Amino acid sequence: MDRKFTDEDDALLADLGVVVEPEKAASRTPKEERIIAGFEEIQRFVEAHGHAPRHSEDGDIFERLYAVRLDRIREQDKCRELLSSLDHQDLLSHPAETASPSPDGMDDDALLAELGVESAAPDIGELRHVRSSAEKRAAEEIATRSKCEDFETFRPLFEQVQKELDAGLRETRPLGIQADIEPGRFFIIGGQKAYVAEMGEEFTQRYGDRDARLRVIFDNGTESNMLRRSLQRALHKDEKGRRILETSAGPLFADMTADGDEASGTIYVLRSKADIPFVAENRDLVHKIGVTTAKVETRIAGARLDPTFLMAEVQIVATYSLYNIDRAKLEQLIHRIFAPARLDIEIEDRFGNPVVPREWFLVPLDVIDDAVQKIRDGTITQYRYEASSASLVARQ
C-alpha cells in the first residue's frame, strides 16, 4: 500500500512518544463552553433532520427543548456574538419563534426543568446543565450511532481485516499527529473496529477549518454519520485509539534485506524419508511446514529421534526467510490454509508413547509456494485450499 511520507513521520513521532497538539484557541469560560456545547447539539439536530427545531405540539420532546434553547440564544447578544463564527447553518440570523403551549400542560421552562436544564436565570449561564464541549465531543461518536441496516455488506470486511491482523499482514499503530481519515480506512475506537465507508463533499466552516460528513460503520452493527473532525477528536481522546494499517515496514520474504529490516526467522518445507507406507507412496506430496528462528539444519538435527519429524531423516525442499512479521501468526495462518490436507498419522516416540504430528500436509510444493506468494501480496484471505484438486481456489 502506498503511504505518504507524513504518515510515516506521524508513526515515528508516535513511536517515540511525541504527541504534537494543535495550537489551542483562546481559553473560554465554563459558561461559554456550556453555551457552545448546547448550540452544537442544535446543529447536529439540523444536520440530521434538515430543518431547525420547531415548537410543534406533536413534536419530539427533545426537538421542543432545542427550539426553546435556540430562541433564548437568539435573544441574547452575548450568545450571538460568541456563536457567530460557529454558525455555518445560519441559525442565528432568524428571530426567536413564539413557542406553542405544550399539550401536556407544561410550558417550555417546565419542559426544560423536567429534562434537567434550569432556565430561571435569563443570562449567558442559563444552559449550565448542558455538558461541556469537551465532554460532548468525546461522547459524540457513541451518542449519534444508529443500526446499520446493510451491515451484512460490511461484515466480510471486518472479518477479513481481523484475519489479516491475526496473520501479521496488518498492524495497529498510535494515531500520531493526526489520523489520515478517508474512505476505506480502518480504526479502533472505544474497543471497536470502525470502517470509514463514505465521505461527503468537503466544506469550510466559518472559522476556516475544512470538514466533511462521514459514514462510519462499527463492527457491532451500528453506524454514525459524524463529521470528520469529530471522529478525529474522538480518536485522539481515546487512549487506546489506533489506526489499522497494512504491514509495510519491509518485505515479508526476501533474499536481500533493506537497512532496518528485522529478521524474524525462516519458513521451511521438508520431505520425510520415513518408511511409513502412506508417506513412502506419496513422498513428493507429503510435506512438513514449519517456522524456526534457528538455522533449518540445526532445527532438523536428530530428526530420526523426534516424532515431530516422523522418527526419520528429512530433506529440506524449500525455505523462505522472514522479515518484519510475527512468525508464530504466520505459521498459524499457513497451517489454517492447508488444514483440509493435514495428515492424520499417529506414531510412537522412542519411549513407545503415541504422538500425532500436526505439521504434515498432503500438498504439492508448487501450491505451498503459491500460498507464500499470496501471503506476500496480501491476497491469501481471498483463497482456500481445495484438497480434491490440490490447489488454491478463490473463495465464493
Chain segment 57-91, per-residue pLDDT in tens = 666 667 778 888 888 888 888 888 888 888 888 88
Residue 25 has what pLDDT?
A: 46
- pLDDT at position 98 over 70: no
CA atoms within 13 A on the CB side of 72: 23
Measured from the Cβ of residue 230, the count of other Cβ atoms closer than 10 Å reads 21
Average pLDDT over residues 108-116: 44
Phi, psi of 287 (to 5 degrees): -130, 145
Identify whether the C-beta of residue 214 lies closer than 8 Å to the C-beta of residue 199. Answer: yes
Torsion of Cα atoms, 366 then 368 then 370 then 375, to 10°:
-170
Average pLDDT over residues 22-41: 72
Helix boundaries (H) for 131-192: 133-143, 151-167
Identify whether the C-beta of residue 243 lies closer than 8 Å to the C-beta of residue 172. Answer: yes
Residue 287 has what pLDDT?
A: 95
Identify whether the C-beta of residue 132 lies closer than 8 Å to the C-beta of residue 140. Answer: no
Measured from the Cβ of residue 18, the count of other Cβ atoms closer than 10 Å reads 11
> Measured between alpha carbons, how far is 94 from 53 in angstroms, rounded to an integer?
12
Residue 245 has what pLDDT?
A: 80
Residue 316 has what pLDDT?
A: 94
How sure is the predictor about 100, in pLDDT bands with cuts at 50, 70 and 90?
very low
How sure is the predictor about 282, in pLDDT bands with cuts at 50, 70 and 90?
very high
- The residues that bridge with 390 in the sheet, in sequence order, are none
> Measured between alpha carbons, how far is 334 from 380 in angstroms, rounded to an integer?
10
Residue 312 has what pLDDT?
A: 93
- pLDDT at position 392 over 70: yes
Average pLDDT over residues 201-205: 79
Distance of CA 57 to the CA centre of its chain: 43
DSSP 8-state symbol, 291: E
Cell numbers at 225, concatenated: 454519520
Q: Decide: pTM greater than 0.75.
A: no
> Measured between alpha carbons, how far is 322 from 262 in angstroms, rounded to an integer?
9
- The residues that bridge with 146 in the sheet, in sequence order, are 223
| DSSP characters over 80-109 | HHHHGGG-TT--TTSPPPPPPPPTTS--HH
- The residues that bridge with 361 in the sheet, in sequence order, are 287, 342
Closest by CA to 141, choosing from 220, 53, 233, 244, is 233
How sure is the predictor about 26, in pLDDT bands with cuts at 50, 70 and 90?
low
Looking at every residue in the chain, the average pLDDT score rounds to: 76
CA atoms within 13 A on the CB side of 229: 10
End-to-end CA distance of the chain: 25
Residue 208 has what pLDDT?
A: 66
Residue 360 has what pLDDT?
A: 94
Least confident of 18-27, 112-121, 210-219, 381-390: 112-121
> Measured between alpha carbons, how far is 349 from 355 in angstroms, rounded to an integer?
7
Residue 123 has what pLDDT?
A: 43
Closest by CA to 155, choosing from 220, 213, 206, is 220
Kindly list the domain boundaries of the chain, sorted by start residue: 30-130, 139-246, 263-394
Average pLDDT over residues 330-345: 87
> Measured between alpha carbons, how far is 171 from 38 in angstroms, rounded to an integer?
39
AA identity, residue 318? A
